[in-house]
Amino acid sequence: MATDTTRERVLGLIVSAGPITAATIAEKFELTPAAVRRHLSALTDDGLIADHEVAGPIERGRGRPAKAFVATPEGQRALKSAYSDVAQDAMEFLKARGELAAFVAEHGVRLENKITGAVDKTAPVAARVGALSDALAAMGYATSVRPGPGGYTLQLCQGHCPVQEIAQATPEWCEEETKAFSRVLGVHVQRLSTLAQGAHVCTTTIPLTPALKEG
């Protein structure tokens, strides 16, 4: 990958906010259309991003949907944690000892403990989701919050996963994270897609409803 700082920032934005159009990227970084095209062309040539046609909020008039961009698996790996290989080896060790399931469950509890303090459970659901997104972003997940279809839900999108290789080998990892999100937010949430399964972003849908009741 090129070492150009602006190009890295463009890739980071595509990872966290993709699918995203060239016009939005230009506005975000105050770049000329020509400059954005150069960066997008270089990132495409490097295999780090790909075209992605999306209808809806970024649709161009009544014609063909505007071309947007998402990160490829190679683009995701360009931002991967330096510790992911070591962590994956540790997971294999635990699996061989029959201790993987307990470790993954404990991961969900530890994640909950790390992020629960950032979320005010008396706040509206939208505020809780925003606080959760900020907490996850600080942990390297490149998160954003987007409105769901019909305005009845929010979508928590994670454009980067520091332990994506682990999640690919251990699907229960994502399941425990989803359970942790639900406990912290106080509402039932549903994971719609994951980077580990080949999607360009992990998407969790969250209903804008009152908190879950115990019992």
pLDDT for 66-121, tens place per residue? Answer: 688 988 878 877 765 545 666 667 777 788 888 888 988 998 999 999 999 999 99
Q: Residues near 122 by Cβ (< 8 Å), separated by ≥ 6?
A: none
pTM: 0.63
CA distance 134 to 160: 14
In a domain, 214, yes or no: no
pLDDT for 167-200, tens place per residue? Answer: 888 888 899 999 999 999 999 999 999 988 888 8
Range of the structural domain that residue 71 is part of: 5-78
Q: What is the mean pLDDT of the chain?
A: 83
Residue 212 has pLDDT above 60, yes or no: no
pLDDT for 14-38, tens place per residue? Answer: 877 778 899 999 988 888 989 999 9
Of residues 56 and 90, more confidence is placed in 90
Give the orientation angle of helix 172-185 with respect to helix 125-138, to 10 degrees: 130
Structural domains counted in the chain: 2
91 plus 48 within the same structural domain? no
Contact 12, 2 (CB under 8 A): no
CA distance 6 to 64: 29
Which CATH number characterizes residue 55's domain? 1.10.10.10
pLDDT for 109-166, tens place per residue? Answer: 999 999 999 999 999 999 999 999 999 988 878 899 999 988 899 999 988 877 777 7
74 plus 100 within the same structural domain? no
129 plus 192 within the same structural domain? yes
User: Which of 56, 78, 100 is at the close of a domain?
Assistant: 78
